Amino acid sequence: MNRPLFALVLTLTLLPSAQAGDATKGRQLVDKHCQSCHGSEVYTRPDRRVTSLDGLHKQVRRCELALGLTWFDNEIDDVSAYLDQRYYKFK
């Protein structure tokens, strides 16, 4: 296999797992930071604004910034993974 093709295959193979996030860690972050502002009703209401996994990721980032939490990207991924697994089920 030529080198550029191998690099592309390797990148595409690793990419989904890098974005998946750890739902267990995400739950801990939600319990510690998000529940202070709202309960689960924001995730379960019929007119919720988040309608895609990308939208969920962006909303988590907005909330993180609004609270001044300075999370790393993997923590945003973790929270998104937890909320998706628990409430949204986009995957």
- Whether residue 75 contacts residue 29, with contact meaning beta carbons closer than 8 Å, is answered with yes
Which residue in 83, 69, 85 sits closest to 30, CA to CA? 83
Position with higher pLDDT, 87 vs 7: 87
- Asked whether residue 15 is assigned to any structural domain, the reply reads no
Please state the pTM of the whole predicted model: 0.77
- Asked whether residue 6 is assigned to any structural domain, the reply reads no
Count up the domains in the chain and report the number: 1
Give the CATH number, domain containing residue 34: 1.10.760
Residue whose entry in the numeric block shows the structure tokens 């604004």: 49
Give the Cα separation of 26 and 45 in Å (integer). Answer: 21
- Asked whether residue 11 is assigned to any structural domain, the reply reads no
pLDDT digits (tens, 9 = 90+) for 29-88: 999 999 888 888 889 888 988 999 999 999 999 999 999 999 999 999 999 999 999 999
Which of the 8 DSSP states describes residue 90?
A: -
Domain region containing 37: 21-88
Residues 6+ positions from 70 with CB-CB distance below 8 Å: 64
- Asked whether residue 4 is assigned to any structural domain, the reply reads no
